[in-house]
A and B are shown apart, each in its own frame.
Chain A
Amino acid sequence: MSETYAALPQGREQDYKDFLFKFLVIGSAGTGKSCILHQFIENKFKQDSNHTIGVEFGSKVVNVGGKSVKLQIWDTAGQERFRSVTRSYYRGAAGALLVYDITSRETYNALTNWLTDARTLASPNIVIILVGNKKDLEADREVTFLEASRFAQENELMFLETSALTGENVEETFLKCARSILTKIESGELDPERMGSGIQYGDASLRRLHRQQQQTRRPDCAC
């Protein structure tokens, strides 16, 4: 408990109340990871996009199931040469967007590797959503929706097709992932207090927890 709190940046994160989730965006180069993030945060399409170097960062506070959650999103470079650099960011991620490009089978084929990486390097309970990007380029589609959703089913992933260009499903992707994490927390499947869970309590839930602890502690003292 105290561990989690100490990791909170003090006095600066007053903009979210309940949780902070660490997210990861992974996938092969050129699948549009940065564009998805940009669309999610800025609500517009990033026109002159280049390859990401290393990792970049973005954050946004969203409302999921009545809870205010801050998403701390690490956007990793997809290029192979950055693999070693980006790995250190996998650790302790609560959720991940595994992105491929529906117009490129190559990126789809690489999914297994990415998935292994994510499952081994990030926390084992990481919630992963498979994202088929560039939905707007229907004419160039190489990976069918059905095929991808089968893959998702087999690997216990959620699945959505998005378009960073039009913004379709972009926000939904993040929300869906966050919602799933929240459900797991509520069901006890995920323990936010475990180290490296990628989840932190916000001020409000901290206070609530504190109160609960006091309430449970009191009978102990009486004994």
Chain B
Amino acid sequence: MDIKKKFKILIGKQDALRSPVEDSQISPEQLSTDPAVAKIKEQLRDPHVDQEILESIEETYYSSEDFDTSEYELQKLPETLDLQQIDADRGRLRGQLDVVSRKVYELVLQNHPAYATELQRVMELQRTLQLAGTICGTGRKQLMKARESFTATSLGLLANYRKRHQLMGLLKSLHTIKTLQRTDLRLREMLEEEDYSGAIQLCLECQKAASTFRHFHCISELNSKLQDTLEMIEEQLDVALSKTCNNFDVGHYEKVQTAYRLLGKTQVAMDQLHMHYTSAIHNTAFTIVLGYVELYSGTGSTNFQKKQYSDLCEHITVESFTPCLTDLCKALWEVMKSHYQTMLWHEQNNKDIAETEQTSSNVENTFNRRYVKQKLQHGMGRIWQDVQQKVKTFILGTDLSFFKFEEFIQVLDLVNRLIEIGEEFCGSKSESLQDVLKQQSLNYFRNHHRVKMDELRMFLENEGWELCPIRSNFNLLQLLEFRFMQNWSQNSSGVNSPAKMDAKQETKTNLGTGYFFNFEEKCNPFDLQPEEEEQEDVFAKSMDRDGFDDGSVESDSDSDVPEELKQEYIDEHTGETQPNHRRPRTRSRSGFKSVPIVTNTSLNILRVMGRYMKMMTILKPIAFDVITCMSQLFDYYMYTVYIFFASDGPEINDRTMNNRLKISLQRIHESLIADETVPGINGAPEERTDKIPQAHLSPIVDLSNREKLYGLSERIVAAESLVFLAEQFEFLQSYLDGTIPQNKKAFLQQFYSQTVKMAAELRKPIYRVVSTQAIDYTSLVYQMSMVKWDVKDIMSQHNTYVDIILKSFEDFKFRLHEVSRHVPISKVVHDTLWEHCVRLANRMFVEGYANAKKCSNEGRAWMQLDFQQFLTKLEKFVDIRPIPEREYVETYIKAYYLPEIQLEVWLQDHKEYSNKQLLALISSVDHINRKARQRLVNMVDEFDKNRR
């Protein structure tokens, strides 16, 4: 089998060796020579045997390619080797190998020609192929040449042409883009020229144009740039819009509005505009206040820029307040005026549009217009609120209470004008400004009043209670301070005063309604104050401390010449000397009509009141507080007069003092008079109350001199000046009533009925002090006690004590006369004095009679005689009829005659007598028995208990 294998390998070798070498060189002749060798061997063999041998080859030899024949044969060997067997096998195997080898050889020989032909054909094919390759190569070469010379160039031409065409288009576009880019510059120029609408239009066109070139890369950039520009335009527009807040210009505004319309942002513009107004108001206010603060702070060490507006306002100094306020008002006025003009423009514009468009106007436009209108109208309120707020903060930042009055009035005037403007601007009542005014006015006035009250106290403490010589027809209207009321008093019974004031106001507001109308031009309503304000002038005068309006009063007084007194008083005015000028006084005791008695202090009060009232006309919101303060002036004067002149006498029972007067004085004491603090440094921490300490009488006033009737002249001046003051107050009542709100009127009425009306009542306690001390009543009682009343005869001559008391009355009368040389003693004063004297004398009579331990019928008649004598004489120099308390004495005397039963009733009915007096009466009666007397005594004792 090895042979077969070897053969196979051999063939393989041959193939492997030959084929690379062969190629086309191996000639078919070479191949056909080989089989000659094999032919020789074949002849030696028998084909049948060969067949048999071939068939005897075990099947397994053909089973597989890598069958290991040797191993197979070896394994087939038995355990015990038998050489024979082995040899036989070997022989057999050899034979088999031979046969196989032969067989293979034969087969190779058989197939060789076929192989050679096949090979020849292959060679042939190879040759043809080589030929085809060459043809192909030449073809290609030629083709290449053809292409190079024809197709490529023409196609290139075509392509280039097409490209050029495209580039030409591109160039056009680029040109447009370039112009687009250049328009940006133009846009800026236009913005500078404030041609907003043109700019926007242009910009929008550019955008449109740009959108057609959207396919270019650069366009997106350009687009965004245009968008930026548009935004910038809008911003610029916004700035332009904001400018209209401060300085409205029709042309400018129109441009801006058109621009916004182009942008389709009319509504936004309106919203924006109002924001601008808000910030314009803030900025304006801030800048102005800052300017003043920095100007006046001098050092500039602190950084005011960073401060809040309200903090800044607190840094405003007193000097800079008014100019700053004026500027603030002016500036804010400008802003408001701009807004007003904006509205005006829109109104005008709407009209124009309505006229031109008529029916064609579309819905959106009308909606826009309505929106704008509403917005503007709403905006007015807001702007006004802002303005008010700014001014309010500013005003509240400074304490105005130490301002001079004119300055303060100027401030008020400015604010009032602002309020009027506000009213005209948007019909606002400007509550917050009114509030500020009220607050500051009140503050100012309180302070002013406090100073005035202190001044009043000082006046009182320096007051000599001398009569201040003034004209006999004097009333407060002659004071310069009351000049403003002269018209009122002339045509009024006081009723029409409020109406008149209203009328005055009306004309004023009428005048004022033109603020926006009048000031559309460049002037500012806050510029005009000095000459425009007629009131200012009046108030300047109010600060003058002056007396008479000489001109008018002089002519007035000439008409009532009968009051000769005047002559004396005016002589220094006219320069004439009146030789008889002493006369009127001496003869005038009863003839005194009502010569006004005025002290320096009461005159000062009148002046202060005049000033207060004038303040009131300006400080209307605090009119009531002013009146309260006026009442305090009166209260304090009245109280002081009472303390000085009515409470210094000997303690007497207060029955003569009017109860309401007492209550009023008590009220004044509690509400107005500060407690005397204990003198010393420890009392130092003072609270600022509205109370002021009680005044002390000037030491030069002597109230204890008997010769001078215990300061009667001073008392008269004091009491009568108070009464005169009260009269003047009453004169003003209707006027004052017209100035205060309805709900406060009760206060005024109460003040008048409880205080002013009580002034005259104060006469009684004041003059009583004199009356009690001027006559020695106790000695009268003593004299009477000397008389024995149990006389048995009817006496025809009165007792001497009557003469004595009459004498002392005459003395008193003389002294009164002396006093009246210096001070007019009016009938009322006279009567009051005498009434007191008589009353007191009468009481003393009763007291004296009650001292009679025993009394006879005749004695009783004597008493009557005495008293009758007293009355007869008295009536000669006392004018009062009936004689006061005459009954008091007479009834007491006559009670003596009553029988027991009637006496009992009488005792019960006449409690005006003291128990002592009643008991004395009972015990002196000698016509009733002891038992009855005891009963009556017991009864009177009961009274006593009941009284307690």
Contacts and interface: CB of A to CB of B under 8 A. Distances in A.
Interface in A30-87: 34, 38, 42, 46, 48-58, 72, 74-75, 79-82, 84-85, 87
Nearest to B462: A89
A210 B679 CA distance: 13
A206 interface: yes
B681 A81 contact: no
B548 A84 contact: no
Interface in B680-701: 680-681, 683, 686-689, 692-693, 698-701
B693 A9 contact: yes
B459 A88 contact: no
Contacts of A79: 572
Contact of B600 (A5, A13, A55, A72): A55
B520 interface: no
B866 interface: no
Interface string B531-555: 0000000000101111111100000
B466 interface: yes
B541 A88 contact: no
A56 B455 CA distance: 10
B164 to A, nearest CB: 96
Nearest to B572: A79
A75 B550 CA distance: 20
Interface residues of A, number: 41
Given A9-B454, A10-B693, A11-B687, A3 B544 contact: no
A9 B692 contact: yes
Contacts of B459: 57
B681 A34 contact: no
A51 B572 contact: yes
Interface stretch (B360-368, B467-475, B913-921): B467-475
A85 B547 CA distance: 15
A51 B683 CA distance: 43
Given A55-B600, A91-B700, A49 B544 contact: yes
Contacts of B465: 88
Contact of A91 (B544, B680, B699): B699
A42 B465 CA distance: 29
Given A3-B679, A11-B686, A88-B700, A54 B550 contact: no
A49 B546 contact: yes
B217 interface: no
Nearest to A74: B462
Contacts of A88: 462-466, 698, 700-701
A218 interface: no
Contacts of A57: 455, 458-459, 545, 604
Nearest to A37: B545
Contacts of A85: 464, 466-469, 600
A33 to B, nearest CB: 11
A217 interface: no
A113 to B, nearest CB: 16
Interface in B533-585: 541, 543-550, 568-569, 572-573
A15 to B, nearest CB: 8
Given A10-B693, A29-B572, A50 B600 contact: no
B806 interface: no
B57 interface: no
B480 interface: yes
Contacts of A89: 462, 464
A6 interface: yes
Interface string B595-630: 000011001100000000000000000000000000
Nearest to A88: B464
Contacts of A13: 454
B598 to A, nearest CB: 8
B450 interface: yes
A38 B680 contact: no
A212 to B, nearest CB: 12
Given A2-B679, A11-B687, A82 B468 contact: yes
B715 interface: no
B577 to A, nearest CB: 12
Given A12-B450, A38-B544, A72-B458, A53 B700 contact: no
A29 to B, nearest CB: 7
A84 B700 CA distance: 12
Given A10-B693, A81-B569, A85-B467, A48 B681 contact: no
Contacts of A49: 544, 546
B468 A53 contact: yes
Contacts of A82: 468-469
A218 to B, nearest CB: 16
Contact of A46 (B462, B464, B544, B603): B544
B218 interface: no
A74 B464 CA distance: 14
Given A2-B680, A88-B464, A42 B543 contact: yes
Nearest to A9: B454
A54 B699 contact: no
B674 A10 contact: yes
A157 to B, nearest CB: 24
B546 A50 contact: yes
B339 interface: no
B42 to A, nearest CB: 165
Most chain A beta-carbon contacts within 10 A, residue among B466, B541, B687, B701: B466
A53 B572 contact: no
A170 B450 CA distance: 28
A206 B681 contact: yes
Contacts of A74: 462
Contacts of A56: 545, 604
B677 interface: yes
A72 to B, nearest CB: 7
Nearest to B474: A53
Contacts of A6: 676, 679
Contacts of A81: 469, 568-569, 572
Nearest to A34: B545
Interface in B463-518: 463-470, 480
B547 A53 contact: yes
A207 B685 CA distance: 12
Most buried by A among B544, B604, B701: B544
Contacts of B600: 54-55, 85
Nearest to B550: A50
Most chain A CB atoms below 10 A, which of B451, B547, B677: B547
Most interface-central of B465, B544, B600, B701 (chain A CB within 10 A)? B600
Interface of A: 2-3, 5-6, 9-13, 29, 34, 38, 42, 46, 48-58, 72, 74-75, 79-82, 84-85, 87-89, 91, 206-207, 210
29 contacts: A2-B679, A2-B680, A10-B677, A11-B686, A12-B450, A38-B544, A48-B544, A49-B544, A51-B548, A53-B470, A53-B603, A54-B600, A54-B604, A55-B600, A56-B545, A57-B545, A58-B545, A74-B462, A75-B545, A81-B569, A84-B464, A85-B468, A85-B469, A85-B600, A87-B464, A88-B701, A91-B698, A91-B700, A210-B681
> Which 10 A-B pairs have CB atoms at the shortest separation, nearest pair first?
A88-B464, A11-B686, A54-B600, A53-B547, A6-B679, A2-B679, A56-B545, A54-B468, A85-B466, A81-B469
Given A85-B466, A85-B469, 4 more contacts: A9-B454, A9-B693, A57-B459, A88-B701
